[in-house]
């Protein structure tokens, strides 16, 4: 199994370029199931999650062709509407095929994704929404069996939680429904907007994406299109925090400030100096930052996907910060690992007390999920001595060419084996 070996204490400098967004590319790829015509996606990141989803789509009959960062997908002949446990269990976002398959073919069977390291992550919001659109849903042998006689029917949906992939799945399903669907308390994440923009180019009639009420007027059929995937705001946020913590002047090229307002506001409060330019966001290096309290929330709140990285940054601030997680019940697995490196974090259930000015020392640490892994890399960059991050495959799911990008900034980082 691969590890990542980091020699800490080298200041980072230069430019890092942000890749296409994993969490935008995944639903966009599934949108190909809504039409027999080709869907061409540009700015697709090279990540294991993309490959996993290509395998899922391929098992259904989708033909895919990746050339650089351009991915061409065509769901002309779908010979199978069952997404198997073997594939779905590798990545829960595979459940995004359910809405499109059901809408276009009238039936789909998708393995229930099950729990994951960061929490239970049920899909009841999606299943209740599909039922309201007229589908019959049965759970049998760990699979969701979804069926509809004729077309789905537009309906007024209220989501008890603004689930992101839940909103995306229902929005895709509703594009081919008969009549109008409204989704209230919809997720407002920029990835939902990116998907709506692409679907509209495919001939869908969606308004309100990015607000909590999305309206979808169903159409008879969709066409193919070409769409550029938005830049990854979580990758950008990770590098912004890394630049503040371990940098000496870094341009985060392609970072879109509008997508990261909650983070940028807190970073400014902490005393990080940043310049917004046409190219991206330049972060002046520094130290002597001030502790700030953080609470994760659905967009436009502070992203749970940046909580671990923010915590790593706050270990270096002056004073005590409180980091509260409200989206997931179990997303503090990085806490004991960071403490092994000398951080002074106290897990108090739904929040963590971060005592600042910690002197971090290199250690062997275990990556437990994608974002937790990023926080360990950040800590390793400033720690005294060598840090070895184990189970680094988590990082390859969401950070394109991380080692290469960090080496480009002057980090001493290399891949190892165990």
**Residues in touch with ligand EPU (CB under 6 A):** 23, 26, 93, 119-126, 161, 163-166, 304-305, 327-328, 370-371, 398
Choice between 209 and 317, CB closer to ligand EPU: 209
**In the complex, what is the shortest distance from the CB of residue 371 to ligand EPU, in angstroms, rounded to a whole number?**
5
Separation CA 14–CA 408 (nearest Å) = 8
- What is the C-alpha to C-alpha distance for residues 122 and 160, in angstroms, rounded to an integer? 12
Looking at beta carbons only, is 39 or 164 nearer to ligand EPU?
A: 164
Strands 143-147 and 136-140 turn out to be antiparallel
Q: How far is the CB of 187 from ligand EPU (least distance, A)?
A: 7
Element spanning 339, H or E: helix 334-340
CB 165 → ligand EPU: shortest distance, Å?
4
Query: First CA to last CA across the chain, in angstroms?
Result: 6
Give whichever of 94 and 215 is closer to ligand EPU, judged by the CB atom.
94
Element (H, E) at 412: strand 412-417
- Asked whether the beta carbons of 279 and 415 are under 8 A apart, the reply is no
C-beta closer to ligand EPU: residue 163 or 311: 163
Minimum Å gap between C-beta 328 and ligand EPU is 5
Q: Please indicate whether residue 116 is annotated as part of the active site.
A: yes
Q: Is the CB of 230 or the CB of 274 nearer to ligand EPU?
A: 230
CA-based nearest residue to 123, from 147, 103, 157, 95: 95
Please state, as a whole number, how many other Cβ atoms lie within 10 Å of the Cβ of residue 299.
Answer: 20
CB atoms within 10 A of CB 220: 8
Q: Which residue out of 30, 32, 54, 116 is catalytically annotated?
A: 116
The sign one gets for the Cα dihedral 296, 228, 58, 173 is positive
Shortest distance (Å) from residue 98 CB to ligand EPU: 12
Residues catalogued as catalytic: 116
């Amino acid at each position: 199994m691969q590890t990542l070996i980091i020699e800490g204490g080298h200041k980072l400098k230069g430019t890092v370029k942000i890749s296409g967004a994993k969490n935008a590319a995944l639903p966009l790829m599934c949108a190909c199931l809504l039409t027999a015509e080709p869907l061409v996606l540009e700015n697709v990141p090279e990540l294991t999650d993309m490959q996993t989803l290509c395998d899922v789509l391929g098992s259904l009959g989708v033909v895919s062709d990746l050339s650089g960062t351009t991915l061409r997908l065509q769901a002309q002949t779908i010979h199978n509407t069952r997404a198997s446990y073997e594939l779905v269990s590798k990545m829960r976002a595979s459940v995004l095929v359910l809405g499109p398959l059901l809408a276009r073919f009238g039936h789909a069977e998708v393995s229930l994704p099950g729990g994951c390291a960061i929490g239970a992550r049920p899909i009841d919001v999606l299943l209740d929404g599909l039922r309201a659109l007229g589908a019959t849903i049965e759970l049998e042998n760990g699979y969701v069996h979804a069926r509809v006689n004729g077309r789905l029917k537009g309906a007024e949906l209220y989501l008890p939680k603004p689930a992101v992939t839940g909103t995306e799945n229902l929005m895709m399903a509703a594009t081919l429904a008969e009549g109008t669907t409204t989704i209230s308390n919809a997720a407002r994440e920029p990835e939902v907007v990116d998907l709506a923009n692409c679907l509209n180019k495919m001939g869908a009639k969606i308004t309100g994406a990015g607000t909590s009420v999305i309206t979808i007027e169903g159409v008879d059929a969709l066409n193919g299109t070409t769409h550029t995937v938005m830049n990854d705001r979580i990758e950008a946020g990770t590098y912004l925090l890394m630049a503040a913590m371990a940098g000496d002047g870094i341009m985060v090229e392609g970072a879109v400030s509008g997508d990261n307002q909650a983070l940028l506001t807190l970073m400014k409060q902490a005393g990080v100096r940043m310049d917004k330019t046409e190219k991206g966001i330049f972060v002046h290096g520094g130290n002597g930052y001030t502790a700030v309290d953080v609470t994760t929330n659905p967009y436009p709140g502070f992203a749970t996907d940046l909580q671990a990285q923010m915590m790593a940054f706050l270990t270096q601030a002056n004073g005590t910060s409180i980091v509260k997680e409200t989206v997931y019940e179990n997303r503090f697995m990085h806490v004991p690992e960071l403490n092994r490196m000398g951080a002074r974090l106290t897990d108090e259930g739904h929040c963590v007390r971060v005592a600042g000015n910690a002197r971090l020392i290199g250690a062997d640490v275990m990556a437990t999920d994608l974002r937790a892994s990023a926080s360990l890399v950040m800590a390793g960059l400033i720690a005294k001595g060598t840090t070895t991050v184990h189970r680094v495959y988590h990082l390859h799911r969401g950070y394109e060419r991380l080692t290469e990008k960090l080496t480009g900034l002057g980090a001493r980082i290399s891949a190892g084996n165990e």
